[in-house]
A and B are shown apart, each in its own frame.
Chain A
Amino acid sequence: MKRPLLITTGTMALAGLAFVLVNTLPGCRPTTTQTVVTGDAASKVYVKPGTHDEFYNMVSGGFSGQLAVYGLPSGRLLREVPVFSVDPETGYGYSEETKGMLMTSHGFIPWDDSHHPELSQTNGVPDGKWCFINGNNTPRIALIDLGTFRTHSIIEIPNSAGNHSSPFTTGNSEYVVAGTRFSVPMGDDAQRDVPISSYKETFKGTVSFIHPEPETGKMSIAFQIVTPAVDFDLSHAGKGPSEGWFFFSCYNTEQAYSLLEVNASQRDKDFIMAVNWKMAEQLAKEGKGKRVPGKHYSNWWNDKTHSSETTVIDDVLQLDPKEHPGLLYFMPCPKSPHGCDVDPTGKYIVGSGKLAALIPVFSFEKMQKAIAGNEVEGDFAGIPVLKYESVLHGEVKKPGLGPLHTEFDANGNAYTSFFVSSEIVKWNVEKLEVVDRVPTYYSIGHLCVPGGDSKQPWGKYVIAYNKITKDRYLPTGPELTQSAQLYSIDGDKMELLLDFPTTGEPHYAQAIPADLVKPREVKFFKIEENQHPYVAKGEKEARVERNGNEVHVWMTSIRSHFAPDNIEGVKLGDEVYFHVTNLEQDWDVPHGFAIKGAANAELLIMPGETQTLKWVPTRVGVWPMYCTDFCSALHQEMQGYVRVSPANSTVPLKGETVSVDAGV
């Protein structure tokens, strides 16, 4: 969202516009940092050296395709977890073992656009076990294990295009969902090769329910519901009284397929789609679905073999709502709804029409009554549309401009981001009254309250993730860091505490108390449990073997040497596979591995792990290899040589480590 805006609005124009709009609204605060930072903000975000933050903040990398992990309240970047994009720093997507994580039905895909981190839940509360995140471009969902902070599972979503309204979870992470942003033609090749102008007749949407296996984290598509052709935007599961339902916002009910900026902004109202997922689950169980073409990959990381495992599935179970009345309903929602958020009680669903000047709040109880009383205003492509007035709890009047997303605290308050007027507005869910507002810098997209989309928000902070940075930090040429702000919500008034820069695009984020995650941390992998096919459990197993033109090196690393570190007998035309096992068995002792001319990246091998780098030498000579991760005082000595001879050479293959008597 950021880059097109920059192109179309020029330098300070948009931020300037935001200021003007903010200042025309009643009750607005001044917009300079100097005047909005009050009291002792510094002490509230200061985390003493050697002590830890209170919350983990899982922040999407947006177009970086990764997940960034920050500490709150300090805003310190702790880690960038490679998810959908290759990462030369760790070898993710470069090592032979990790390449499979990025395989799809389109082949190896080294990048995606990651938008929404969603923490797994138990009884409607984030449990610190996993973090899901969606890939938009080549539709996928990833599962990150919070014991290792590594991508543990990635599933591709078939019959989907632009996986945006994803991967929001049900209350016990029975399912995470994937709603397609672009509707597309589906079926066999002939059914998919159609004119774009036949959109209304031939295009369809889907929402998929993906089941993560509780023990292993392996993901599979339980069922996929076919919908009329629209654009799905965001979603959230019901909870409490609305448990068993899922709500998806959708726009482009105009069914435009060109210049959507204009053509999809015609209708006064689009929809929030209510899905009875318990009913869908039952239908699937009873065999009421139909298996249709939908080739997709499911990739899983095995912590014992330290390798990815890929399963290819050719089809998917689809349910047609036209055959199953009661499965889907549309609720009219003003002006291209974006956010679709369910309050902690599960009684209310907040739609945020991004072009609307009000926030509609729907009542689940009223929705049920409207369904029972058949209070419909008609149908949309065969799906009943409930009457707006019948399902409405009420509207927040004139809250700001361009409402996008809403999170909640535990005291009945909602916090809604306003992109156009660049502010967070706090309002009371029952009373629908605005109680406070603060400016953001600049043009906020998503926002996050710890636990703020769950049954039991922890509250304490709201964080703004902004689309525009401008002058907030030291300038770095045309391309700037992205910008987040931390506000205290402990008092009646929101209080700005901190700016912190973020990587990629901080699209959405969730936060969780550190105490729920820290006890899960894996410190190293047990060497005894290593089942990698090329593991060397000790230097006695280090060796070199030839298999045709493949040379396999069983290599070990420990502070601070490799075994073997002298290899001879490699010939031009060979493919050399360095299978490096890190023999260390303590926390924070990775070893790296790099060799001159390798056309990929380094390996970064955790203690007890085995990883493989493929190297195809292109010249005769003696080539250096070394450890890249500073490991001890003799790290700079952790090096070796590989001799490469001509293709017709008779130099025997050998690998050794030669020790002189160093004395005692």
Chain B
Amino acid sequence: MMTACGGGDAANAGPPGAPTLEKETSSSEAASSSGKAKLLTDADVTLGDIDNGMVEKGKTTYDVKCQACHSMGENRVVGPGWKGITTRRKPEWIMNMIVNTDAMLAEDPEAQRQLEQCLVRMPNQNLSMDEARQVLEFMRTL
């Protein structure tokens, strides 16, 4: 997150200067626990059988923090619809978009390509690692 926007690229589409300063003190659990936004790798996210308890919690978080922009169908509202998302994206990529949003928009070519389509920077909704994992579990059911 410290390395956010390169000069004048698509990552600068947000409020001027917002994502650059002092993210190291962000209250985001993900950011503070990982210090300088170290992206998750496939080793960090393991999927087992679908855990219905986690799915339920993930749905609750979705309703408050995600639903305004992401439908459960295929259609895009602001961001892409989530139906079948786990077949199109790797689990760690999804997790990184949720908890390391600004770093992904700054560094990841796929995230940047998505931003070029949607034109609204995905907000960092400050989900904890657990909450993000629960949302991922919910996505697997769509």
**Interface residues, chain A, with chain B CB atoms under 8 Å away:** 50, 519, 523-524, 527-528, 537-540, 556, 558-561, 563, 583-589, 630-634, 659, 661-664
Nearest 7 A/B pairs, CB to CB: A661-B75, A662-B76, A538-B64, A585-B126, A585-B125, A538-B63, A586-B124
- Sorting the interface of chain B by its residue count into under 10, 10 to 19, 20 to 34 or 35 or more gives 20 to 34
Find chain B residues with CB under 8 A from A632 CB: 13-15, 119-121
**CA of A213 to CA of B112, assembled, Å:** 50
**CA of A588 to CA of B13, assembled, Å:** 15
- A-facing residues in B97-141 (Cβ within 8 Å): 119-121, 123-127
Find chain A residues with CB under 8 A from B65 CB: 527, 538, 583, 585
**CA of A586 to CA of B21, assembled, Å:** 13
Whether a CB of chain A sits under 8 angstroms from the CB of B18 is yes
Report the minimal beta-carbon distance from B9 to chain A, rounded to whole angstroms. 13
Contact A586 B125, CB 8 Å, known A556-B68, A563-B68, A662-B77: yes
Contact across chains for B125 and A584 when beta carbons are under 8 A apart: yes
**CA of A524 to CA of B80, assembled, Å:** 26
Whether a CB of chain A sits under 8 angstroms from the CB of B67 is yes
Whether a CB of chain A sits under 8 angstroms from the CB of B78 is yes
Closest chain B residue, CB of each to CB of A519? B25
**CA of A537 to CA of B11, assembled, Å:** 28
Q: Could you write out 10 A-B pairs with CB less than 8 Å apart?
A: A524-B126, A559-B120, A583-B64, A583-B68, A588-B15, A588-B18, A589-B15, A632-B13, A632-B14, A659-B77
Contact across chains for B123 and A558 when beta carbons are under 8 A apart: yes
Whether a CB of chain A sits under 8 angstroms from the CB of B51 is no
Whether a CB of chain A sits under 8 angstroms from the CB of B74 is yes
**CA of A527 to CA of B65, assembled, Å:** 9
Contact across chains for A664 and B74 when beta carbons are under 8 A apart: yes
**CA of A497 to CA of B27, assembled, Å:** 37
Question: Which of B13, B26, B64, B76 has the most A CB atoms < 10 Å from its CB?
Answer: B64
Contact across chains for A633 and B119 when beta carbons are under 8 A apart: yes
Report the minimal beta-carbon distance from A563 to chain B, rounded to whole angstroms. 7
Contact across chains for B125 and A538 when beta carbons are under 8 A apart: no
* Contact pattern, B 47-77, Cβ under 8 Å of A = 1, otherwise 0: 0000000000000000111011101001111
**CA of A631 to CA of B26, assembled, Å:** 19
Closest chain A residue, CB of each to CB of B127? A585
Contact across chains for B76 and A664 when beta carbons are under 8 A apart: yes
Contact across chains for B64 and A659 when beta carbons are under 8 A apart: no
Contact across chains for A633 and B77 when beta carbons are under 8 A apart: no
**CA of A516 to CA of B78, assembled, Å:** 40
Closest chain A residue, CB of each to CB of B71? A659
Report the minimal beta-carbon distance from A393 to chain B, rounded to whole angstroms. 47
Partner of B78, one of A519, A524, A559, A588: A559
Report the minimal beta-carbon distance from A355 to chain B, rounded to whole angstroms. 50
Find chain A residues with CB under 8 A from B121 CB: 559, 632-633
Contact A633 B126, CB 8 Å, known A523-B26, A563-B68, A664-B76: no
Contact A560 B76, CB 8 Å, known A527-B65, A631-B15, A632-B13: no
Contact across chains for B13 and A559 when beta carbons are under 8 A apart: no
Closest chain A residue, CB of each to CB of B62? A538
Contact across chains for A585 and B123 when beta carbons are under 8 A apart: yes
**CA of A631 to CA of B7, assembled, Å:** 20
Find chain A residues with CB under 8 A from B64 CB: 527-528, 537-538, 583
**Interface residues, chain B, with chain A CB atoms under 8 Å away:** 13-15, 18, 21, 25-27, 63-65, 67-69, 71, 74-78, 80-81, 119-121, 123-127
**CA of A433 to CA of B15, assembled, Å:** 55
**CA of A586 to CA of B22, assembled, Å:** 13
Question: Which of A528, A583, A586, A587 has the most B CB atoms < 10 Å from its CB?
Answer: A586
Closest chain B residue, CB of each to CB of A661? B75
**CA of A541 to CA of B77, assembled, Å:** 18
Find chain A residues with CB under 8 A from B75 CB: 659, 661-664
Contact A558 B14, CB 8 Å, known A587-B26, A662-B75: no
Report the minimal beta-carbon distance from B5 to chain A, rounded to whole angstroms. 13
Find chain A residues with CB under 8 A from B14 CB: 632
Closest chain A residue, CB of each to CB of B84? A664
**CA of A539 to CA of B65, assembled, Å:** 9
Partner of A633, one of B26, B71, B120, B124: B120
Contact A584 B76, CB 8 Å, known A527-B65, A589-B18: no
Find chain B residues with CB under 8 A from A586 CB: 123-126
Find chain B residues with CB under 8 A from A587 CB: 18, 26
**CA of A511 to CA of B93, assembled, Å:** 46
**CA of A584 to CA of B64, assembled, Å:** 10
Find chain A residues with CB under 8 A from B13 CB: 632-633
Given contacts A538-B64, A588-B15, A633-B120, 16 further A-B pairs with CB under 8 A are A528-B64, A539-B68, A540-B67, A559-B123, A560-B120, A561-B68, A583-B64, A584-B123, A585-B125, A586-B124, A587-B18, A630-B15, A632-B15, A632-B121, A659-B75, A664-B74
Report the minimal beta-carbon distance from B114 to chain A, rounded to whole angstroms. 10
**CA of A527 to CA of B26, assembled, Å:** 16
Find chain B residues with CB under 8 A from A561 CB: 68, 78
Partner of B68, one of A50, A538, A634, A661: A538
Find chain B residues with CB under 8 A from A558 CB: 68-69, 123
Find chain B residues with CB under 8 A from A633 CB: 13, 119-121
**CA of A523 to CA of B13, assembled, Å:** 21
**CA of A537 to CA of B69, assembled, Å:** 14
Find chain B residues with CB under 8 A from A560 CB: 78, 120
Report the minimal beta-carbon distance from A551 to chain B, rounded to whole angstroms. 22
**CA of A662 to CA of B65, assembled, Å:** 20
**CA of A559 to CA of B115, assembled, Å:** 13
Closest chain A residue, CB of each to CB of B102? A586
**CA of A663 to CA of B76, assembled, Å:** 5
**CA of A203 to CA of B82, assembled, Å:** 74
Contact across chains for B81 and A664 when beta carbons are under 8 A apart: yes
Report the minimal beta-carbon distance from B8 to chain A, rounded to whole angstroms. 14
Closest chain B residue, CB of each to CB of A562? B68
Contact A523 B123, CB 8 Å, known A538-B67, A559-B78, A662-B75: no
Find chain B residues with CB under 8 A from A662 CB: 75-77
Find chain A residues with CB under 8 A from B120 CB: 559-560, 632-634
Find chain B residues with CB under 8 A from A539 CB: 67-68
**CA of A519 to CA of B22, assembled, Å:** 12
Find chain A residues with CB under 8 A from B125 CB: 584-586
Contact across chains for A634 and B126 when beta carbons are under 8 A apart: no
**CA of A217 to CA of B31, assembled, Å:** 31
Contact across chains for A661 and B76 when beta carbons are under 8 A apart: yes
Partner of A664, one of B18, B25, B80, B124: B80
**CA of A664 to CA of B120, assembled, Å:** 14
Report the minimal beta-carbon distance from A174 to chain B, rounded to whole angstroms. 31
Closest chain A residue, CB of each to CB of B124? A586
Find chain A residues with CB under 8 A from B15 CB: 588-589, 630-632
Closest chain B residue, CB of each to CB of A528? B64
Find chain A residues with CB under 8 A from B74 CB: 664
**CA of A589 to CA of B101, assembled, Å:** 15
Contact across chains for B63 and A634 when beta carbons are under 8 A apart: no
Find chain B residues with CB under 8 A from A588 CB: 15, 18
Find chain B residues with CB under 8 A from A634 CB: 119-120
